[in-house]
Structure 1
Amino acid sequence: MRKLSQGPGAHFRKFLQDWSIPRQIAGASLRDKAAESQTSRDLRPRLEEADRVGTSICPFCAVGCSQLIYAKDGVPIHIEGDPRSPVNQGTLCPKGGGTLGLLLSPKRVTDVLYRAPRSDKWEKKPLEWAMDRIAERVKRTRDETFVEKLPDGRTVNHTLGLGSLGGATMDNEENYLIKKLFGGGLGMLNIENQARI
């Protein structure tokens, strides 16, 4: 014969015993922990498992909200706003709150991928190879398209063969340096920032 606690109504009886509403209706108060259930008593803070906390800046826009990144065994487990920051004072917008998904997404590209002209597949390449290739192509394009003087004799020292579109996460200081390097150094005229678009 089956025990009564294991019968078909056992789950329902357990639910009623653990449910806080009947206790509160019977007059139990917060002091009696009337609103507690076994489920709520078993809950643990998700950050309790973290063995390390680091700081970062949200990657999604130019506001520069500070973040606290909690990690366990070197893997991020939670990200929240840093309350010490005068910028965001511990808050994050929905995009910033989703940073953990960006970090841990299996679709996140973490390798340099290169597709050769007319190829139908991507190849993994070392970062140093990619940086050297970009630098070589920028220099070659600048040299091939650089204009010192216009036909009327005016000095312009510019190129129309290169342009820059900065990301929205760049702050004023980074944009200043980009303008100096790309505009003053390379002679680019087409310099824009995603934050203004």
Structure 2
Amino acid sequence: MNIDLSRRGFLRLAGAGVAATSLGAMGFGGAEAAEQAHVRAFKLASTTETRNTCTYCSVACGILIYSKGDLAAGETAEIVHIEGDADHPTNRGSLCPKGAALKDTVHSQTRLTQPRIRRPGSDKFEEITWEEALDKIARALKDDRDANLIQKNEAGVTVNRWTSTGFLAASATTNETAWLTYKVVRSMGIVGFDNQARV
């Protein structure tokens, strides 16, 4: 079969083909419009969204954590996606490289999920329960406060200062939690009190 096509005819045919495919790609063709109108299901539609604060620095960026699994039914929730919270006034949806890698941190094999202690004379850490860890911390604080609390200064004025223990607060917290932390620490008499945001 021999097609007799002049150069001018070829250009007309090529131009018409480009125009037709362009119109179809812009949605003017019936079949293309029906195909593009099909909406694919959003991949996070079946997940639970939880707002939280990034754990890294003192900026306290807002994050959205998406998990699968029903905690109310006793299932273990699996975190499948973490992104910046666009409604958060601090970061407005953006995250630094560390914040963007939070999902990898959560799923890391080396991430600590339980308290550990290295007993005197031991060369390794062993896991203990949360109750045991909190009891040991409370006992150490009580013993140190009983031994080192300064109740009165040289002039006989009651001061209730505890200078042998310090407290470092976290910065990724709410104003209400920070206020309560401050009140608890000061009510115990601790003088050395600082925050991660300043350090």
Normalised TM-score (structure 2): 0.69
> Which of 166, 174, 181 is the aligned partner of 2:184?
181
Aligned partners of 1:99, 1:132: CA distance in 2, in Å?
A: 31
Aligned in 2, Cα 1:119/1:71: closer, same or farther, shift over 3 Å? same
Residue 172 (structure 1) shift: 3.3
- Contact 1:70–1:78, Cα closer than 8 Å, also in 2: yes
Say which one has the larger Rg.
Answer: 2
Aligned partners of 1:155, 1:166: CA distance in 2, in Å?
A: 26
Corresponding pairs, count: 160
State, as a whole percentage, how many aligned pairs show the same letter. 36
Find out whether 1:69 has 2:65 as its counterpart: yes
Unaligned runs of 5+ in 2: 1-16, 27-39, 70-76
Corresponding residue number in structure 2 for 1:132:
135
Q: Bigger shift: 133-142 or 88-97? A: 88-97
Aligned in 2, Cα 1:178/1:71: closer, same or farther, shift over 3 Å? closer
Aligned partners of 1:50, 1:122: CA distance in 2, in Å?
A: 42
Aligned positions of 1:1-197 closer than 5 A: 29=22, 31-32=24-25, 48=43, 51-57=46-52, 58-73=54-69, 74-183=77-186, 185-197=187-199
Aligned partners of 2:43, 2:176: CA distance in 1, in Å?
A: 37
Unaligned runs of 5+ in 1: 1-25, 34-44
Q: Which string of whole-angstrom CA distances, capped at 9 and with x for unpartnered residues, describes residues 65-119 of structure 1?
A: 3322223453112111223334433322322212111111111000111111111
